[in-house]
Amino acid sequence: MTVTFNAFEVFEIAEQIERNGTDFYIRAAELFDDSDACQMFLRLAEWEKEHEGTFAQMKQQLSEQSRQVSTSESEDLLPDPRVMAGLAVFGIRTYPAEELRARQEKTDIIRRAVEKEKDSIVFYHGLKEFVPSGADKDRIDEIIKEEMRHIVVLDQSLKENE
């Protein structure tokens, strides 16, 4: 069984990835009394929220034609973009931040966040294949660059905490 997605569905998945990222970083911020760590995670959550808005805008701009089902058989569709987003980046949980727990080492959470950012970058590179306009591809490239900056921020924090 081959499952394909149209651009509208892919943007829904991208939006959910960003929502999951926002939730993950907010939960991470709640776990620490350390104001620097808390502020870093809240800043990352804010950036993820901005990315979600960008993908929502791009999805709105799609024509009705691109919203049509792109598979030959309707049963090939995966019904919930949230599930696909979870599988793609933040695990299979509906609420990926649940994997974070109190008394978890800050460095473990930061490492996990770096891996999630890397997975997001890979997903967004693939997302560009679904985007017809060069301007939208440029916007996705900007988000990829921002995700790379997130990794730099996380790596710096990791070095400071090891």
Q: pLDDT tens, 24-54?
A: 999 999 988 888 989 999 999 999 999 999 9
Q: pLDDT tens, 12-26?
A: 888 888 998 999 999
Rounded alpha-carbon distances, angstroms, from residue 127 to 10, 46, 69, 73, 157: 7, 22, 17, 22, 29
Q: Where are the domains of the chain?
A: 7-161
Query: What is the reported pTM?
Result: 0.76
Answer whether residue 75 shows pLDDT above 80: no
Per-residue pLDDT band at 82 (split at 50, 70, 90): low
Query: What's the confidence (pLDDT) of residue 153?
Result: 95
Q: Which CATH number fits domain 7-161: 3.30.460.20, 1.20.1260.10, 3.40.50.11600, 1.20.140.10?
A: 1.20.1260.10
Q: Is the dihedral of CA 56, 57, 60, 61 positive or negative?
A: negative
